[in-house]
Amino acid sequence: MEDRQRAVKMKTIIIATKNKGKIREMAEEFAELPVIIRALDEFGELPDAVESGHTFAENARIKAAFYSRLTGQACLADDSGLEIDILDKRPGIYSARFAGDNASDGDNNKKMISEMKKAGVDSSNARYKCVLAFFDINGRILQAEGECEGKIKLSPKGSNGFGYDPYFYIRGGKKSMAEISALEKNEISHRGKAVKRMKILLAEYLA
């Protein structure tokens, strides 16, 4: 098939997130699929979805459904966060708003450090979780999940990645998630694992 013909037949999928770090990590992976990948910001200023769910899965579905209704296109949304054992699995689904609505990554990291100090520790087992939800305009839903175990330490290292990455030390290593390359992060991360699973589901869906 010629490129032009293939382009006509290709579906569009919007990566429905306002987090630039997530887009960076996902866009390249999904570019391997026979689909046109677009980012939410190509559709102008859209309102934020209300993340009123009680689980990552509920919030991922809320975001995918909300943005597919707004754009009239198939959407893939990510809900993710960090569970810190010593903090009874907080911030969890509240990871983006740990330090309040519109908190920056820096604000959330400061809040995390102060909560860890309050608990009297300088490290704790922790894990990142990610749920990806895909909604098309006919109501077809696909869902995939991923987890990544590690340790939170109060000494930040590295400047790659985003969010809590400088404080999240990967399993068995002395490196933080912000010290490894984007490629290496995708190999081991919660999002990388969910993306690989979602790619299999999408390939079946598109076939």
Ligand X SMILES: O=P(O)(O)OP(=O)(O)OP(=O)(O)OC[C@H]1O[C@@H](n2cnc3c(O)ncnc32)[C@H](O)[C@@H]1O
Smallest separation (angstroms) from Mg ion to the CB of 206: 27
DSSP state of 17: -
Of the residues 3, 78, 79, 105, which is catalytic?
79
Q: Which does 28 bind (CB under 5 to 8 A by kind): Mg ion, ligand X, none?
A: none
CB atoms within 10 A of CB 153: 19
Annotated ligand binding at 163? The verdict is: yes
Query: Residues with Cβ < 8 Å from 9, sequence gap 6 or more?
Result: 1
- Closest distance to Mg ion from the beta carbon of 66 (Å): 11
> Minimal distance in Å, beta carbon 118 to Mg ion?
25
Binding site for Mg ion (CB under 5 A): 96
CB burial readout 8-24, b (16+ within 10 A) else e = eeeeebbbbbebebbbe
101 catalytic? Reply is no
Contacts for 100-103: CB closer than 8 Å, 24+ residues apart? none
| Residue 73 binding partner per list Mg ion, ligand X, none, with a CB distance cut-off of 5 to 8 Å that depends on partner kind | none
CA distances (Å), 114 to each of 107, 111, 178, in order? 11, 5, 20
- The listed partner (Mg ion, ligand X, none) that binds 163, CB under 5 to 8 Å by sort, is ligand X
Residues belonging to the binding site for substrate are: 17-22, 80, 162-165, 185, 190-191
Would you name the residues annotated as active-site residues? 79
Residues belonging to the binding site for Mg(2+) are: 79
